[in-house]
Amino acid sequence: MEKRASALDTLRSLGVPHIETELEEETMADATSGKPTVLVTRRLPDAVHDRLMRDYDARLNPEDRLYTKDALIRAAEGADAILPCHTEHFTEEVFASLPKSVRIIANFSVGYDHVDVAAAKKHGVVVTNTPEVLSDATAETTILLMLGAARRAGEGERLVRSGGWKDWSPAFMVGRAVTGKRLGILGMGRVGQAVADLARAFRMEIHYHNRARLSPDKEQGAVWHDSLNDMLPHCDFLSLHCNVTEETRGIMNAARFALLPDGAVLVNAARGAVVDDDALVDALESGKLFAAGIDAYNNEPNVDKRLIALDNTFLLPHVGSANRETRDAMGFRALDNLDAFFAGREPGDRVA
Ligand code: DGY
pLDDT score, position 27: 43
* Nearest CA residue ID for atom 4, ligand 1: 109
Ligand 1 centroid to 45 CA: how many Å?
15
Indicate the domain borders of the chain.
2-133+325-342, 135-315
The average confidence (pLDDT) of the chain is 93
Give tens-digit pLDDT for 143-187: 999 999 999 999 999 999 999 999 999 999 999 999 999 999 999
> Which of 13-22, 34-43, 222-231, 290-299 shows the lowest per-residue confidence on average (mean pLDDT)?
13-22
**Catalytic residue positions, numbered:** 271, 300, 318
Integer Cα distance of 137 and 159 in angstroms: 28
How many CB atoms sit inside 10 A of residue 330's CB? Answer: 26
Q: What is the pTM of this model?
A: 0.91
Integer Cα distance of 249 and 232 in angstroms: 17
Is 134 touching ligand 1 by the criterion CB < 6 Å? yes
Question: Quick one: which of 186, 295, 319, 183 has its CA closest to 242?
Answer: 186
**Contact between 314 and 178 (Cβ < 8 Å):** no
How many CB atoms sit inside 10 A of residue 113's CB? Answer: 18
> Does the pLDDT value for residue 29 go beyond 50?
no
pLDDT score, position 6: 47
Q: Mean pLDDT over residues 13-42, rounded?
A: 60
Domains 2-133+325-342 and 135-315 share a fold: yes
Its CATH class, for the domain covering 2-133+325-342, is alpha beta
Ligand 1 pocket: which of 191, 321, 330 to mutate (most atoms within 8 A of CB): 321
Ligand 1 centroid to 155 CA: how many Å?
27
Question: Quick one: which of 62, 104, 66 has its CA closest to 85?
Answer: 66
Enumerate the β-bridge partners of residue 182: 205
Q: Mean pLDDT over residues 62-81, rounded?
A: 97
Ligand 1 pocket: which of 83, 109, 132 to mutate (most atoms within 8 A of CB): 109
**Contact between 249 and 270 (Cβ < 8 Å):** no
Integer Cα distance of 229 and 66 in angstroms: 39
Integer Cα distance of 46 and 52 in angstroms: 10
Give tens-digit pLDDT for 319-349: 999 999 999 999 999 999 999 999 999 999 9
The strand pair at 264-268 and 205-209 is best described as unpaired
pLDDT score, position 14: 47
pLDDT score, position 32: 58
* Nearest CA residue ID for atom 2, ligand 1: 109
Give tens-digit pLDDT for 194-249: 999 999 999 999 999 999 999 999 999 999 999 999 999 999 999 999 999 999 99
Backbone angles phi, psi at 165, to 5 degrees: -80, 115
> Does the pLDDT value for residue 33 go beyond 90?
no
Integer Cα distance of 319 and 121 in angstroms: 30
pLDDT score, position 22: 40
* Nearest CA residue ID for atom 1, ligand 1: 109
How many CB atoms sit inside 10 A of residue 319's CB? Answer: 14
All residues at 6 or more sequence positions from 7 whose CB lies less than 8 Å from its CB, including other chains: 27, 30, 31, 59, 77, 78
> Does the pLDDT value for residue 4 go beyond 80?
no
pLDDT score, position 21: 35
pLDDT band at 28 (very low <50, low <70, confident <90, very high): very low
Ligand 1 centroid to 321 CA: how many Å?
7
pLDDT score, position 18: 39
Is 86 touching ligand 1 by the criterion CB < 6 Å? yes
Ligand 1 centroid to 270 CA: how many Å?
8
pLDDT band at 8 (very low <50, low <70, confident <90, very high): very low
Q: Mean pLDDT over residues 270-293, rounded?
A: 98
Q: Which CATH superfamily is domain 135-315 in?
A: NAD(P)-binding Rossmann-like Domain (3.40.50.720)
Q: Name the more confident of 9 and 327.
A: 327
Is 141 touching ligand 1 by the criterion CB < 6 Å? no
pLDDT score, position 49: 98
Ligand 1 centroid to 228 CA: how many Å?
24
Integer Cα distance of 341 and 352 in angstroms: 13
Integer Cα distance of 29 and 261 in angstroms: 61
pLDDT score, position 10: 47
